[in-house]
Structure 1
Amino acid sequence: MKKWCLFLSLLIVALILTACGEPFLSTMKPAGEVAEKQFDLLLLSTGIMVLVVVVVVIIYLIVLIRFRRKRVGEDKIPKQIEGSHKLEFIWTVIPIVLLLILAVPTLLQTFELGNVSGKEKVDKDGNRENLVVNVRANLYWWEFEYPDLGIVTSQDLVVPTDERVYFNLIASDVKHSFWVPAAGGKMDTNTDNENYFYLQFDSEKADEAGNLFYGKCAELCGPSHAYMDFKVKAVPRSEFDEWVKAMQNFEETEPTTAVAQQGKEIFENSCIGCHAVTPDNSTPANARIAPNLADFGNRTTVAGILPYTKENIKKWIQNPGDIKPGNLMYDSENFSDEELDALAEYLMSLKAQN
């Protein structure tokens, strides 16, 4: 009885937890066209499976109760149904019908969701009609390039709501997988070929989530796979256009404090070899070996996982290997506390102004 009580308790807790989920992260709270279609397929397949299980259990219980030995006697032999064409037909046709009910919409949705021809559509002036983003996965960070806009960002992806956004996916080192749980299923990023798909973020669901969704790597890629996160800022088209304008007109402002000026000098003597601080995509992709830090002051996290605070910036600069083991940024334990303060203040001043 103790084991059964424990099992039932765990089952009840599991059932309760299945209802948990945040709108910015949960697949159970779809936030766009793709996620909703995939969620509907999930409900359909689950419903069919539950129906089959319920019918089988009911039949089992009926047989167990109706033909138990105590009721029918020791010598009672139930009516034999071997060779019944009617029953053979029923239990052959029903699985076929259920399979068709599941297979037809699944195949239709698979082909529809795999259709990325929209990313090639252009208007009468030859401009692409839909937003296209090149996603490049690295150990353990994400780069987002807007090829038609001349913009490169890292860790924070900005997209307009209520529009299809097409993604070209590739990896620079090992296989990763691009996944925004609330917006749709994952897609692998490979080193030798590009994958393509699209997502759409619903404006109402984005408002519920505070216009911020969480993205993750969904392919085991190394010791810091669990920390390979990114953020998606889903905003109305007008706000997206303002962001684009600010990034295209980005000019690094001169530090306003002596501490930030000191940080800039330290950065230019040690960090500039890997990190860019302007968001243009003029540098070839294979030369962009570290996250672009333009607009770093407007980020929501540090290294994709830590709350955005000055102390966490200093912690990351000093010992990145402790936070993301296996990442390619070397530890900087030789920086003094004063230099770390200066670097953090300088980085927090890097903002695109509208």
Structure 2
Amino acid sequence: MKNLWRVLPFSFILLFLAGCGKQNLTALDPRGPVADMQHSLIGLSLLIMVFVIVVVAAIYVFVLIRFREKPGDNHIPEQVEGNKNLEIIWTAIPILLLIILAVPNVMDTFTLADTETDDDTLVVNVTGHQFWWEFEYPDLEITAGQDLYIPTDTRIVFNLEASDVIHSFWIPALAGKQDNVPGITNDMWIEAPEEGVYFGKCTELCGEAHWLMDFKVVAVDPDTFDEWAQGMAEPDSELIEPTEEVAAEGREVFEQNCLACHAVGGEGGNPQGGPDLTNFGERTVIAGFMEYDDESLEAWIRHPEEQKPGNLMPGFDQLDDDEMDSLIEYLNSLKVLDDE
């Protein structure tokens, strides 16, 4: 027990790391062909390393026991030249292991680098901002923010860019990381065979709120995706001109305070502004990380700097309670998919 204090720091480290599984951000549970390939390469590398460690450890223990100094035995061992057969073996085995590792690596690298598109490919331009993500579907002429909708069983090609500093795009369940670099376009592809929500993150230190730069990938069946895309491209007129009184008042507040940066239904916004809010009411988090409820939304609108330090959204604490309530009701009504 007297040495227990020595292991306590390691225990705290393990507990800390155990808490890093927020939103199930793990690459060890692959859900698509890209993640499967990368996971297989990790597994192959691990097996080879374990094999080398076991063999070296076994030889070390054997030599340690077989040739250990015995009591009373003080003679000097006979000095001999190198063993040609052993030298061939310990040279050939690493070469063989490298070939075993290199062949699938090279093959998968060419497969992963193939971002050619065809009529069945969905292209998405991904732009990293401080500290949010913009998703543009050029073929569909729509833009979304924070939530990336994709159809299942479809090849998705991403063109990755950044508007300010270097970011890094990572969806661990679907693919590895790729950098978003200002002035440079990188590309990658994924495919999601199953419907579901896959969590992503920026993995390049990009500023004060880097750790809060999360996003979601929502994989839906192709019919639902077509419905979503249609709703984003041609939203219901009530998104622009709500008929309910409170939401209509909220739309006026939105036009006076938010429309210069945020677009809804193709109206408003600017390239240096904030995310498109056409389907804001369908989100489950606010600003990529806050629980979606009216209280959190009000806190975000009034004091965004306190919630996500370093972000560029100004606060709107000047809104009175009635204006805030109507604005929140309007934002909650922004949906392009029918509620199920």
- Same-fold status (TM-score > 0.5): yes
Tell whether 2:191 aligns with 1:192. no
Letter in 1 for 2:58: I
Over residues 177-196 of structure 1, what are the superposed CA-to-partner deviations in whole Å (9 max), with x where a residue is unaligned? 11101101011111111111
Tell whether 2:260 aligns with 1:273. yes
CA distance in 2, matches of 1:22, 1:336: 35
Local SS of the residue matching 2:295: helix
Q: 1:79: Cα distance to partner?
A: 5.5
Residue among 333, 336, 339 paired with 1:349 = 333
CA distance in 1, matches of 2:293, 2:231: 24
Residue 42 of structure 2 corresponds to which residue in structure 1?
Answer: 42
Tell whether 2:299 aligns with 1:315. yes
Q: 1:172: Cα distance to partner?
A: 0.6
Over residues 47-82 of structure 1, what are the superposed CA-to-partner deviations in whole Å (9 max), with x where a residue is unaligned? 10111111111111122222222x364414456553
Alignment of 1:68-79 (within 5 A): 68-69=68-69, 71=70, 73-78=72-77
Q: 1:21: Cα distance to partner?
A: 6.2
Equivalent residues of 1:250, 1:353 under 8 A apart: no
Runs of 5+ unmatched residues, structure 2:
none
Residue 124 of structure 1 corresponds to which residue in structure 2?
Answer: none
Q: 1:225: Cα distance to partner?
A: 0.6
Residue 300 of structure 1 corresponds to which residue in structure 2?
Answer: 284
CA distance in 1, matches of 2:191, 2:337: 27
Over residues 143-177 of structure 1, what are the superposed CA-to-partner deviations in whole Å (9 max), with x where a residue is unaligned? 11111111110000000112210111110111111
Tell whether 2:261 aligns with 1:262. no
Residue 229 of structure 2 corresponds to which residue in structure 1?
Answer: 244
Aligned residues: CA RMSD: 2.6
Residue among 160, 168, 189 paired with 2:151 = 160
Letter in 2 for 1:304: G
The aligned length equals: 333
Percent identity of paired positions between Structure 1 and Structure 2? 47
Runs of 5+ unmatched residues, structure 1:
122-127
Residue 125 of structure 1 corresponds to which residue in structure 2?
Answer: none
Equivalent residues of 1:25, 1:181 under 8 A apart: yes
Tell whether 2:219 aligns with 1:234. yes
Alignment of 1:119-134 (within 5 A): 119=117, 121=118, 128-134=119-125
CA distance in 1, matches of 2:265, 2:280: 10
Equivalent residues of 1:175, 1:190 under 8 A apart: yes
Is the alpha carbon distance of 1:21 and 1:327 closer, same or farther for their aligned partners in structure 2, counting shifts above 3 Å? closer
